[in-house]
């Protein structure tokens, strides 16, 4: 079982941001933040699109609602991906799984397990040392909250957590979690998740959070059994080159 938490990397300093031009599938990426109080979405989105050169564009609208969805469709976008934010109360059920903290010596093995588990994933797959080291340089990174599970000295699972202290109350996120493909079907996804939640609860947090693809049925079944429920949906749209 592979459990994906794929919400990292969204800019959220202002209600609407434009990234690009990119040398990738989408030349432009437009992100609309969940707090749209000071945004006239229809006119501001139109102005942003008018400033681009007509290349293929991806649009993310965080915490989607019917009004924002209609505006995106009217602008010529097509829905193609829903990302759910799930939350649960902490502390949760404890687990007997024995984990340890990440060290820099684990980096290559972590990348190998991650890339096997997320070979299908548009953001989390294909990690490199440079990408992981850049994330580890972020001020929120805490190696102790990056929990690893081993079997016969081989890494078979991990639960990387992140604390969002800018929220009130603070949120404890399962940032990325996976079980190596060699150990799928052994029921390790749930205790791996609980190991991460145990660590977050030990930091005094009362709310757990994660992002998951809406159509990842095995992961969503596991999260529901733990007590997660959907808080909101971030929706991705695409518009072909004009």
β-strand pairing of 28-32 with 16-19: antiparallel
Does domain 86-233 match CATH 3.40.50.300?
A: no
Q: Which of 5-9, 84-88, 176-180 has the lowest mean pLDDT?
A: 5-9
**In the predicted structure, residue 101 carries a pLDDT above the cut 80:** yes
* Helices (H) then strands (E): counts for the chain: 6, 10
Element (H, E) at 17: strand 16-19
Q: pLDDT digits over 191-211, tens only? A: 999 999 999 999 999 999 999
Q: How much is the pTM? A: 0.86
Q: Is 85 helix (H, G, I), strand (E, B) or coil?
A: strand
pLDDT value, residue 14: 60
The residues spanned by each domain of the chain are: 16-83+235-239, 86-233
Q: pLDDT digits over 25-74, tens only? A: 899 999 999 988 889 999 999 999 998 888 899 999 999 999 999 999 99
pLDDT value, residue 223: 94
Q: HSE on the CB side for 5, CA within 13 Å?
A: 24
**In the predicted structure, residue 10 carries a pLDDT above the cut 60:** no
CA-CA distance, 103 to 138, in Å (whole number)?
16
What lies within 8 Å, CB to CB, of 203 at 6+ separation is: 145, 163, 172
């Amino acid at each position: 079982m592979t459990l994906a938490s794929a919400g990292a990397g969204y800019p959220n300093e202002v209600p609407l941001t434009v990234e690009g031009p990119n040398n990738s599938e989408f030349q432009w990426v437009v992100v609309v933040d969940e707090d749209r109080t000071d945004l006239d979405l229809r006119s501001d989105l139109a102005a942003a699109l008018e400033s681009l050169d007509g290349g293929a564009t991806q649009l993310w609208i965080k915490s989607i609602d019917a009004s924002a969805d209609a505006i995106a469709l009217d602008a010529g976008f097509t829905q193609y991906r829903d990302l759910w934010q799930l939350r649960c109360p902490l502390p949760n059920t404890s687990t007997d799984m024995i984990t340890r903290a990440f060290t820099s010596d684990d980096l290559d093995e972590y990348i190998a397990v991650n890339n096997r588990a997320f070979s299908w994933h548009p953001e989390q797959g294909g990690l490199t040392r440079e990408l992981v080291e850049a994330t580890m340089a972020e001020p929120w990174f805490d190696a102790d909250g990056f929990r690893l599970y081993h079997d016969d000295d081989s890494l078979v699972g991990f639960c990387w957590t992140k604390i969002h202290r800018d929220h009130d109350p603070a949120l404890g996120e399962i940032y990325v979690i996976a079980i190596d493909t060699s150990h799928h079907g052994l029921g390790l996804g749930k205790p791996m998740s609980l190991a991460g939640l145990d660590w977050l609860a030990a930091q005094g947090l009362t709310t757990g959070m994660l992002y998951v693809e809406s159509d990842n049925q095995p992961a969503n079944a596991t999260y529901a059994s733990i007590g997660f429920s959907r808080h909101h949906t971030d929706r991705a749209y695409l518009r072909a080159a004009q």
